[in-house]
Amino acid sequence: MLRQAALAAIQQSCLAEKLRQTLAIDLALPVDPQAELVPTRIVPGREARPELVPAAQLASRGTHHPEGRAALIHALAHIELNAVDLALDIAWRFSGLPEDFYRDWVRIAQEEAYHFSLLKEHLASYGFAYGDFPAHGGLWDMAEKTRDDVLARLALVPRTLEARGLDVNPAIRHKLNQAGDKAAAAILDIILRDEIGHVAAGNRWYHYCCEQRGMDPLTAHAELAEHYAAPRQRGPYNIEARRAAGFSELELSRLSL
């Protein structure tokens, strides 16, 4: 069963096994949308490293030095690994949705696993491994807050936190490219291309859930952001990418307000 496979993968504490299981999930598996699944281990499974610290405690390193670039690539890898867990989590946790919902999120988990692998391999070219730098758990914190409401999860993870990734990608890419890391810049091109599709899936299913509940999407988003204390969105915005990811012109016009 597809959702059971997603739950098995997210519970894996061994990173290599989590990635292997995620990439091995057959999207043609039966879904069983009505099943109420219960984890048998901690979700998400994690290795002892990296050390997780508050975001404020993470030192900012410039990209003019190889170790600074490695730290930035490590931070990006950590985001992508969290994105694997987030996509697996939404696939197993929430029951009663159309089968395509679950197939979408497992496919997205597989693409996030590919992104992580690209960054992990590139990090090795600097002489570092994933886990060598501290990281923070901000992305997963929002998953915990929204664990009981799929509408809140869709509004505040793909449509807010992951959409922020669309905004910051070009500047990070430029910084690494200017520092001479053409390979990292190429990886970020791949990530941006795929993340537009991931945010688009979030938008599509968010609007579906709003329609099912008879809710106005813009009003619901504002209320959910306030209720769950979501980070305030701030520019500069990648309007072209957000538009491609399915944000309406009205939503885009309100970003600067």
Question: pLDDT at residue 193 above 70?
Answer: yes
- In this structure, is residue 157 part of a structural domain? yes
CA 77 from centre of chain: 11
- Residue 101's nearest CA partner among 206, 248, 256 is 206
Identify the pLDDT of residue 59.
72
- In this structure, is residue 83 part of a structural domain? yes
The count of structural domains within the chain is 1
- In this structure, is residue 198 part of a structural domain? yes
**Per the structure block, which two tokens stand in for 177?**
């490219």
CATH number at residue 161: 1.20.1260
Question: pLDDT at residue 257 above 90?
Answer: no
What residues make up the domain containing 229? 66-254
CB 101 within 8 A of CB 173: no
User: What CA–CA distance (Å, rounded) separates 34 from 14?
Assistant: 29
User: What CA–CA distance (Å, rounded) separates 199 from 155?
Assistant: 10
CB atoms inside a 10 Å sphere around CB 121? 12
- Confidence tier at 58 by pLDDT (50, 70, 90): confident
pTM value > 0.85: yes
- What is the residue type of 19? L
- In this structure, is residue 99 part of a structural domain? yes
- Confidence tier at 159 by pLDDT (50, 70, 90): very high
- In this structure, is residue 241 part of a structural domain? yes
- In this structure, is residue 164 part of a structural domain? yes
- In this structure, is residue 92 part of a structural domain? yes
- In this structure, is residue 8 part of a structural domain? no
